[in-house]
Amino acid sequence: MSQGYHKEVLIPVLNAELEGELTIPKGAKGIVVFSHGSGSSRKSARNQMVAQRLHQHNFGTLLFDLLTEEEDKRYLNRFNIDLLSVRLIAVTEWLSAQKEFSVYKIGYFGASTGAASALKAASIFPKISAVVSRGGRPDLAMDVLDKIKAPVLLIVGSLDYDVIQLNNTAYGKLKCEKKLKIIDGASHLFEEEGTLDKVAEEAIQWFEKNLISVNKSNTEIYV
């Protein structure tokens, strides 16, 4: 992949600084901000793989740690959806405030509990243009699902029985453009051969449809 911009960033949010990795390919169509699940981080191999596929299709990505190292030691923080949503919104505002990136539409890719924070943030933050949930826990954001305006794609593995039920219930409550995709033969972490590739394909199609940037000049950003 020919990268226009790739940098490790330190993002100030209220009383903390969060570590992140920002990549913007030349001629990027938009930027996808990742919200990882509990116990994971910006280094998640699964999210890194999906991010690389997005780069190949000219989407920028921002992967970052929702919690500081010290905060992550407190187990309950990992399931504090309100805190994680506030962090996600603050990071999105930081990204939007960077002059060189302000031309791009922004989408969310959330996994597990990170999907709940992405959905909750999207219900509050009007600048979000699309959301993809991988093996998500939308039940943890059930009270705000009907407020989301951005198109939402819910992706679940066919072997992830309990989470399928949770996503079916959430799907019924969403009033925005929506799609529920079941990946055959996949469990919660999509560890089975080829299943994560299918997740990436579905996400790319969703962002291609809903996250094309308003940047008509096809601006190229260089390191």
CATH of the domain at 155: 3.40.50.1820
For 52, the domain range is 3-210
* Residue 136, domain member (yes or no): yes
* Residue 117, domain member (yes or no): yes
* Residue 13, domain member (yes or no): yes
pLDDT of 215 reads 45
* Residue 46, domain member (yes or no): yes
* Residue 145, domain member (yes or no): yes
β-pair partners for 9: 20
The pairing of strands 178-183 and 152-157 is parallel
Contact yes or no for 134/110 (Cβ under 8 A): yes
pLDDT of 194 reads 96
Residue ranges, the chain, pLDDT below 50: 1-3, 215-223
pLDDT of 223 reads 30
pLDDT of 72 reads 64
Task: Give the span between the Cα atoms of 175 and 39, in whole angstroms.
Answer: 31
Task: Give the span between the Cα atoms of 75 and 82, in whole angstroms.
Answer: 15
* Residue 217, domain member (yes or no): no
Task: Give the span between the Cα atoms of 75 and 77, in whole angstroms.
Answer: 5
pLDDT of 35 reads 94
pLDDT of 216 reads 40
* Residue 216, domain member (yes or no): no
The SS3 assignment for 65 reads coil
Question: What's the pTM?
Answer: 0.90
* Residue 106, domain member (yes or no): yes
In this structure, what token pair is assigned to residue 144? 């705000």
Question: Considering its fold, how many domains does the chain have in total?
Answer: 1
Nearest to 111 by CA among 131, 128, 96, 87: 131
Task: Give the span between the Cα atoms of 194 and 208, in whole angstroms.
Answer: 21
